Amino acid sequence: MVAALSRFERRIPFASPDRLEHLQRKRLRDLVDHAFRTVPFYRDLKRDGLDPASIRSAEDIARLPMIDAGALVDDPMRFVCDEFRTSGREVFKTSGSSSGLRKPIFWDHGSLLLRAARAERDRVVIARLAEERWTSMIVREFLTNEKRRFVARRFGIDTDHHQRLLILPADFSSRTQRTIYSERTTIPRRPVHYNHLPPSVPFEVAAAHLRAIRPRVVFSFGSYVDQFFHYLESTDSDVPLPKLWVYLGDRLSPGGREIAEERGCRLYSVYGAMEAGTIGFQCEHRDGFHLNTDLCIVRIVDKDGEELPPGHVGSVTISPLDNRAMVLLNYNVGDLGAISTTPCACGRTLPRLSRFEGRQSEYVRLGDGREIGSITIEAMFSRELRRTIQARLEQDEPGHLRWRVVAAAGETPDALALALKSRAAKALGVDTRVEVTFSDHIPLTEAGKFVRAVHRQPVANAKANRNLER
């Protein structure tokens, strides 16, 4: 079944808009009917007078109350289907990269199995960008012993040149998905071409694995590859890089991207969240994210929850349609972005998230009252940040910022601090006070991510800031 569905999924990104809307409406209707019967949060809405028959299209999502991360932290079981509360599901944790609170997210086994096939949408692009012969995921997953190596050769695959390195935490959802596949299909749990490292290992260990394995594709969080490339530049290490580095979960700084391009490593990103799986993916042009709107409705809304027209930046709200264990319709994912108004040259008909402005929680307030995202600040400081391995922006109060940095090898702290402060005076204005502190290492979150912006001002009520947590 998975193999047959994989062939179908490869065609979906090129389907007509009418076909995509038909799939979206059908899945939304089915999920709404399921949720209002079996999920406590939606049963309460029905008792309060909301008719599930009134939610039949993407436009109707606005009838539902907005859900934020605080609601999941307070009582996640309100959003879990009765039949999946204790069995038939897997429970993952979000990264908790803003507040440290990791929300539990339930996925039913059937949906996880289908995600294997739906990943064909971007797997085809990854193969092309990695300059390798594309072959079905099903064939690749069989490559675990000599018999299967024989099958691989028949399909023209050289497993020695098809290595993958995953630098991701052990509890990352894809690792658990592989277990589900092995239990319900003939796909083995550990194909020989997949190699794993936790993101907590020292960079020199990761470099040694790259030399030994020479993977064609590497997968990691965006913040990991960012720091790794800064480490390579700092140490002037000669490391064989993959054809393609796929990053997910968070983003790269402009400086990290520059280093990767200079070293000839092609970068590729997927936009996803634990709450929804893959929300969107880049095509071969790598210009924005093609949104899987038949699997997840994406709306861009203003601070009052009103939908914004294409081209306008607002809060990204999602409604995943392919998870029956936990239903999250009209969920504020905590990101800022804008929908493109122009078609993509690749020919895919899926709409694009053309501008991704980062997380709302990564915005800081300057001394003149402006709010600005850390991604913009990193671009302003790109030259100075190339002299660091890690750099975190911290805010104690409006108008007061602190760069906490791990200096690159050979950098003098006084000289680097002076460069950062001089740039701050020009880029941020004299009303914003900036200080610089140095550390030997800035730790990752429990989920293995690096948080680039931290708000350290005290809050009277922790729940007031939970809507920033993701």
pLDDT one-digit tens code per residue, 429-451: 999 999 999 999 999 887 788 88
List the domain boundaries for the chain: 1-357, 360-468
pLDDT reported for residue 309: 94
Checking if the pLDDT of 134 tops 60, the result is no
Give the C-alpha distances (Å, rounded to integers) separating 34 from 55, 149, 280: 12, 44, 25
**Nearby residues of 269 by Cβ (< 8 Å), 6 or more positions away:** 222, 246, 247, 248, 251, 282, 286, 289
In a 13 Å sphere around the CA of 46, the CA atoms on its Cβ side amount to 15
Decide if domain 360-468 falls under CATH 3.30.300.30.
yes
CATH class of this structure's domain 1-357: alpha beta
**pTM confidence score:** 0.84
Q: Which range among 86-100, 319-333, 352-366 shows the weakest confidence by mean pLDDT? A: 86-100
C-alpha 289/C-alpha 460 separation (Å) is: 38
H/E run at residue 181: helix 173-184
Where does the pLDDT of residue 470 fall: very low under 50, low under 70, confident under 90, or very high at 90 and above? very low
Please state at what angle helix 40-47 crosses helix 17-38, rounded to 10 degrees: 80
Which residue spans within 206-259 are E strands per DSSP? 217-221, 244-248
C-alpha 316/C-alpha 335 separation (Å) is: 5
Three-state DSSP class for residue 29: helix
pLDDT reported for residue 461: 37
In a 13 Å sphere around the CA of 332, the CA atoms on its Cβ side amount to 27
CA nearest to 35, candidates 324, 276, 331: 324
Where does the pLDDT of residue 39 fall: very low under 50, low under 70, confident under 90, or very high at 90 and above? very high
- Tokens 């040694």 belong to residue: 208
